[in-house]
């Protein structure tokens, strides 16, 4: 019987890159996405590249009837759960939507997995579950300290999955706690969303391309240049981690930080690299430091490298170059 990997949120930024790698590895993939925050063109590109290997279903995870039909029709061996709302600031003002899409949808998916005997799950979590970690780089043993509702939904998702593995014989789950994804994968598989919200690197690149000045929140951090340091990792390295987690022989639940690690990059590192890549200076101003803003947050990725056998391959210059090419390509298309 033909086996399939189901990827929820597979038409999104990370999802399209994961689906592309899975199909390239010879897997048959079902994409489930409600297209509430992503354009159709990226997953259509992946389908054309891998004719017959990728099936797309425009279905919401909360639609019990349609989801049940998918599990009845396809012999699913693994579920990669990427679907969900992802913006920290938005989560504080739209808690009901984040509860439904991140917590309730995960609960429903776990019920389907249990009912149809799927024993392998890979879940997209976030390093935001650590909050203001006391020790940096932070490793997987650090306690949960979520400081946003988005992070709380990821913590709750992890707890539900832990319960599922504890009560389901032979079940295995890989929890991937992602650092900040950057760049675009092959075939211009980048972060084009419908919300208009942007992560810091695409925002800075767009500022250069549009000739806009930027304001950096705080230059009084106890860092090399006074600006906050974070962990950024190329989306292709993230996708490779998901593919590796699909075939990992998991005993219960295994947790992995997915980041570049090292010393991280400051906001001014981002600015300088973007200026070097594009060849245009950014006009930078400094505003007040945000309350509760952590000076340094970097993930310990040793378990990722050893357990998943995935080592991040792209440095900040390569991340910025791919983001620049993607952003420039979007402008040309429009």
> Known catalytic residue: 324?
no
Query: Which whole number is the average pLDDT over 170-190?
Result: 95
pLDDT at residue 250 in the model: 84
Paired with 214 in beta bridges are 284
Q: Domain locations in the chain?
A: 3-183+232-258, 186-230+262-299+315-327
Q: What is the pLDDT of residue 67?
A: 98
- What is the pLDDT confidence band of residue 197, given thresholds at 50, 70 and 90? confident
pLDDT at 149: 95
* 249 pLDDT more than 90: no
Helix H or strand E encompassing 159: helix 149-167
> What is the distance between the alpha carbons of residues 329 and 326, in angstroms, rounded to a whole number?
5
pLDDT at residue number 156? 98
**The CATH number of domain 186-230+262-299+315-327, selected from 3.60.21.10, 3.30.70.20, 3.40.30.10, 3.90.25.10:** 3.90.25.10
Which member of 150, 232, 265, 324 is catalytic?
A: 150
Please give the mean pLDDT across all residues of the chain: 95
Two tokens, residue 3: 């086996």
Q: How far apart are the first and last CA of the chain?
A: 44
CATH of domain 3-183+232-258: 3.40.50.720
Question: Residue 276: pLDDT band by 50, 70, 90 thresholds?
Answer: very high
Q: Is the pLDDT of residue 333 over 80?
A: no
What pairing do the DSSP bridges indicate for beta strands 265-266 and 229-230?
antiparallel
Nearest C-alpha neighbor of 297 from the set 220, 233, 229: 229
Check residue 221 and give its pLDDT: 93
pLDDT for residue 334 is more than 70: no
Q: What is the DSSP string of 186-254?
A: GGGB---BSS----HHHHHHHHHHHT--EEEE-S-SSSSSSS-EE-EEEHHHHHHHHHHHHHS--SEEE
Task: Decide: residue 118, CB within 10 A, 0-12 exposed, 13-18 middle, 19+ buried.
Answer: buried
User: pLDDT, tens digit, for every residue of 278-316?
Assistant: 999 989 999 998 877 889 999 999 999 999 999 999 999
Q: Which helix (H) or strand (E) holds 182?
A: strand 180-182
Q: In Å, how far are 100, 151, 291 from 135, measured between CA atoms?
A: 33, 19, 20
pLDDT in tens, 6-38: 999 999 999 999 999 999 999 999 999 999 999
Answer yes or no: are the C-beta atoms of 38 and 194 closer than 8 Å: yes
Cis peptide before 65 (omega within 30 of 0): no
> Distance between CA 40 and CA 318 in Å, rounded?
26
Closest CA to 244 of 120, 137, 129: 120
What's the rounded mean pLDDT across residues 203-228? 92
Cis peptide before 294 (omega within 30 of 0): no
Average pLDDT in the 95-105 region? 97
The whole-number pLDDT of residue 81 equals 98
Per-residue pLDDT averaged across 109-127, rounded?
A: 97
Beta carbons of 112 and 68 less than 8 angstroms apart: yes
pLDDT of residue 104: 98
Question: Tokens in use for 267?
Answer: 């906001």
pLDDT of residue 314: 94
Whether residue 150 contacts residue 95, with contact meaning beta carbons closer than 8 Å, is answered with no
Residue 293: the pLDDT is 81
Query: For 165-170, what is the mean pLDDT?
Result: 93
């Amino acid at each position: 019987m033909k086996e399939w990997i189901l990827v929820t949120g597979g038409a999104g930024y990370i999802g399209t890159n994961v689906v592309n790698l899975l199909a390239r590895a010879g897997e048959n993939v079902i994409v489930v996405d409600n297209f509430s925050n992503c354009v159709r063109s990226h997953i259509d590109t992946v389908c054309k590249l891998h004719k017959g290997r990728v099936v797309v279903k425009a279905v919401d995870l909360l639609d019990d009837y349609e989801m049940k039909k998918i599990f009845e029709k396809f012999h699913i061996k693994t579920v990669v759960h990427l679907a969900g709302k992802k913006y920290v600031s938005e989560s504080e003002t739209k808690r009901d939507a984040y509860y439904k899409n991140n917590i309730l949808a995960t609960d429903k998916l776990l019920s389907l997995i249990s009912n149809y005997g799927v024993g392998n799950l890979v879940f997209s979590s976030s390093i935001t579950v650590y909050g203001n970690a006391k020790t940096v780089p932070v490793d997987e043993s650090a306690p949960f300290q979520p400081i946003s509702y988005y992070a709380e939904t990821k913590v709750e998702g992890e707890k539900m999955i832990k319960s599922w593995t504890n009560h389901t014989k032979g079940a295995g789950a890989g929890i991937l706690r992602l650092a900040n994804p950057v760049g675009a994968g092959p075939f211009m598989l980048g972060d084009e969303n419908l919300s208009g919200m942007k992560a810091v690197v695409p925002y800075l690149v767009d500022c250069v391309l549009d000739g806009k000045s930027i304001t950096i929140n705080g230059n009084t951090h106890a860092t090399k240049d006074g600006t906050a340091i974070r962990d950024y990792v190329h989306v292709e390295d993230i996708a490779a981690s998901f593919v590796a987690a699909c075939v990992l022989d998991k005993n219960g639940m295994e947790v992995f930080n997915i980041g570049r690690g090292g010393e991280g990059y400051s906001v001014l590192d981002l600015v300088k690299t973007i200026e070097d890549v594009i060849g245009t200076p950014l006009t930078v101003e400094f505003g007040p430091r945000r309350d509760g803003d952590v000076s340094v947050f970097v993930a310990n990725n040793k378990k990722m490298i050893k357990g998943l056998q995935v080592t991040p391959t792209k440095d900040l210059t390569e991340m910025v170059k791919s983001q620049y090419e993607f952003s420039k390509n979007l402008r040309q298309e429009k």
